[in-house]
Structure 1
Amino acid sequence: MTRMHPAMSRLYAHIRSFGCQMNKLDTAMVSAALSEAGMELTERASQADLVIINTCSVRDHAEQRVWSHLGHLQHIKRSRPGMVVAVIGCMAQRLGTALLEHPAVDVVCGPMHLPRLVQMCLKAIQDKSKMAAITTSWRADADTLDQLEVSNPAMESPGQAYVRVMRGCNRSCAYCIVPFVRGPEHSRAPQAVLEQVRILADRGARQVTLLGQTVNAYRYRLGERTVFLADLLEMVGRIEGIEWIKFVTSYPMEHQFEPILQQMATNPKVCPYLHLPAQSGSDRILAAMNRRYTASQYLRMIEKAKAVVPGIAIAGDFIVGFPGETDEDFQQTLDLVHEVGYKNCFVFRYSPRPGTPAYRLGDPVPDHIKASRNAALLAAQQQISERIANGFVGRTVKVLVEGPSKRSDRFQQVEDLQQLVGRTDTDWPVVFAGPMQLAGQFVHVRIAKASPFTLFGDIYDPKPDFLGN
């Protein structure tokens, strides 16, 4: 464990995170490591001795936000010349030491070198030096990162935690930077995952979300047996205290799909929620993206999921404006969205990423067409989500309470109750009035009204539900 030198006064650290659940998990681990080293976390960068920016490279927009933030920090450093700024995450791995050329940046640390981050930052504070740690051997760095994950398990919110079960990706989608900045697929040993989940359960976790860029590709050789994701779900389900298990994100492939669905159908702890990005409904565009399935194959998987797991909620991802996408291609995507009936979709405009196979195709679809298709797809999804949400009105749902709601204007305050938010097993946000002590506990909420993406109601049982359904 790295700790501050006794002669050093208390240091303040600020972390700003961009990107996906992987980054949220990395940020939580880094926060825990900083606290363990004796630093105090602050929400204000202007008060910090150390500022860490956890970055995303999936889209150009995400990187532009980082550059803008670095400009802001450069301004702050004029009045705080001793401040150290560290850039971590995918952008750090992609750009490497080139980031050190920015006047605000002192430390660059790729995702696989997070165990070294605190030591690097303390050295930079003491020596006023610049340094970088970028991965060149993905396998060699994996074991050290495993140790950090087990020793610094972090809660996402009261009662909930992310647990990474694998890193990297082997899918080689033409548009995607992830294999270049996160490396090839590497599954963690089941023992390490289970140890981490047990620690989290002892600390009050009621739900764990298993993370992987292609989480359904999880496989680990254990003696003469190969452990797949379905096996891991069963193992995690045996841990006392864990009541809900979710997993994201899955790649549409038939291998091991049936066993995973069977876990959803038969294991009461595995939530009936499936995030299965399609990216397009056009076979021509799917082939250009190097997605290894057709629209009809994808739809057959959805049909199977609905048959095996009645009531399953399905979320999707789509990219609009991929090079060569025509109006006909986009219409096929719209048709697929309507046929699937997603709970919700994440829609992104295509963003060329240097180094990816699709980068050489340029960016021929005009921005205004991308914007139009983006809006049309979101509008279609909103109608679908609204129809599904309205089906909850009058029903009572089990909710894991997260904490205060950001949408407290929907209801009037009731005595000393606050507006809280939680999620169902199918990942629907639910807003209701209740005491803050419920954070991290299960309650039942009767749904009174719904918007396309949020449910609203009242607690049906005022006491936390410790017994499950």
Structure 2
Amino acid sequence: MKTFFTHSLGCKVNAYETDCVASKLLEEGFERVDDPASADVIVLNTCAVTAVASKKSRQHIRSYREANPKACLLVMGCYSQDESEACASFGADIVLGSGRRQDAASLISGFLSNGEKVVSPVADSRDQKYEEFGAPSLAENARAYLKIQDGCDNFCSYCAIPRLRGNSRSRDPREAIEEAKRLCCLGYKEIVISGIHIGAYGKDLGDGSYRLPDLLDSLCAKVPGLLRIRISSIEESELDEKFLSCLRRHPQIVSHLHIPLQSGSDGVLKRMHRHYSTAQFLEKLTAIRGIRPGIAITTDLIAGFPEETEQEWGETMSFCRQAGFAEIHVFPYSLRKNTYAATLPQVDPAAKKLRVKEMLSLSKQLRKEYEEGFYGKSLPVLFETYDGAKGMSYGHTENYLLVAVKGKKEPGSIEDVIYSSEVSSD
């Protein structure tokens, strides 16, 4: 029996797609293993969202080839779309870029039988249809990911993803609903709605009237056993009245929204080509909290964006305090080729590093304040894993507080826990 090993870099969409390829290989009779050095096939899903991500992708390709010269090495994902020939030169046998992932299993079989190498990035990334895998993802623990959308049309000035992932394209709602049903039949209680620009879902379907809130309505109505729906990320512009009404109607949609801010300075937002102001962003947060008091609102933020002044950075720090995020994911600005931001004067690396440190400190403070607001409250926890060595079970509340309790809890079980510093795992 042939064996395979997989590794996914970057976002949850990558992880989902890697699991879909793994599902196909299992169907073809392959066995999954944990050691790349002994596998017949190595599947690496790459990332290129930052320079660090691209570097990691290169390092992994070289490392896997060195560790296992005889294996079939398949490389896919954003970095391989951007640098397909480089991937081949580093030792990849099959390079797929951001497409043809549904062909991965057959291409691997072809290579194993006749040594046929393939370098096939998407020729025109901005003219793609949604790629339906036709196989359920291999969900981990009690939480499963459901991909509903791919690509992005926003073209923020710092981002290469619209060029690498391609145009925004939506999954057929019938396929998404059927996969959700399969996952719930397997016992998963929570589904994480995933995509590159989830809020754009449905714009390209028919007349464009069936959007994300409509899909959420359908999932809540048609999928038995679906207790929790988590939205991996949604943009400020998609938090319209239709979405807010959906949030009011469906308690299955958990009290946690990740809404990327990127900067708390209107001047920087304009240079980023983000189409909202800080006032508009804050207005949306107020509306959401009016519907779901205590909701966890987390965000992404870029520190050291080109031309960002000390005053603008101060505006960002002040705004983040005012917004009261539950957590801030901070990224130093990373120059990406073929983007507008790459042409602007860059911030001094030392200043950028200091700003990241300052924002991480603020995030830690805000996280602590948010957690303390739930001390003494009974919260339902979906348990996901058990560490036998420590005798501890781990899970998350609806608002994504990580909880650790002594003793074995069945993965997928939901139990009420009195939240405190003793059970907080942060």
Question: TM class by shorter-chain length?
Answer: over 0.9
Cα deviation, residue 206, structure 1? 1.0
CA contact (8 A) 1:188 1:220 kept: no
Work out the CA distance in 2 between the residues paired with 1:224 and 1:380: 44
Distance in structure 1 (CA, Å) of the matches to 2:402 and 2:209: 36
Match of 2:419, as an amino acid? I
TM-score in terms of structure 1 length: 0.86
- Partners of 2:85 and 2:119 within 8 A in 1: yes
Determine if contact 2:128/2:166 at 8 Å carries over to the other structure.
no
Tell me by how many angstroms 1:361 deviates. 2.3
Deviation, 1:166, is 1.1
What is the CA deviation profile of residues 136-169 of structure 1, one whole-angstrom value per residue up to 9, with x for unaligned ones?
35587535x21x1xx3212432232111111111
The amino acid across from 1:16 in the alignment is H
Alignment of 1:46-445 (within 5 A): 46-77=37-68, 81-102=69-90, 104-137=91-124, 142-143=129-130, 145-146=131-132, 148=133, 151-219=134-202, 226-238=209-221, 239-253=223-237, 255=238, 257-361=240-344, 364-404=346-386, 418-436=391-409, 438-445=410-417
Where structure 1 has 5 or more consecutive residues not aligned to the other structure, the ranges are: 1-9, 458-469
State the secondary structure of the residue aligned to 1:199: helix
Moved over 6 A (4+): 221-225
Task: Kindly indicate whether the alpha-carbon contact (under 8 Å) linking 2:170 and 2:205 is maintained by their aligned counterparts in 1.
Answer: no
Could you tell me how far apart the structure 1 residues matched to 2:159 and 2:128 are? 22
Q: Is the 8 A contact 1:167 1:182 kept in 2?
A: yes
Deviation of 1:316 after TM superposition, in Å, equals 0.3
Displacement of 1:186: 0.8
C-alpha distance in structure 2 between counterparts of 1:109 and 1:223, whole Å: 29
1:246 CA displacement: 1.1
| Residue aligned with 1:272, SS | strand
Code of the residue aligned with 2:381 in structure 1: it is: V
Deviation string 1:184-227 (CA, Å, 9 cap, x unpaired) is 11111211111111111111121111112221222257777811
How far apart, CA to CA, are the structure 2 residues paired with 1:265 and 1:405? 37
Q: Which runs of 5+ in 2 are unaligned?
A: none
Matching residue's letter, 2:80: A
AA paired with 1:172?
F
Q: Percent identity?
A: 27
Counterpart for residue 4 of structure 1 = none
Tell me how far 1:310 sits from its aligned partner. 1.7
What TM-score do the two structures reach when normalised by structure 2? 0.94
Cα distance in 2 between the residues matched to 1:434 and 1:28: 30
Q: Residue 198 and residue 174 in structure 1: after superposition, are their counterparts in 2 closer, same or farther (change >3 A)?
A: same
Distance 2:171 2:271 in 1: 31
**Equivalent position amino acid for 1:196 in 2:** E
- Per the TM alignment, residue 112 of structure 1 is displaced from its structure 2 partner at its CA by 2.2
Q: Give CA deviations for 1:222-274 in whole Å, capped at 9, x if unaligned.
A: 77781111111111011111011111211111x55222222222211111211
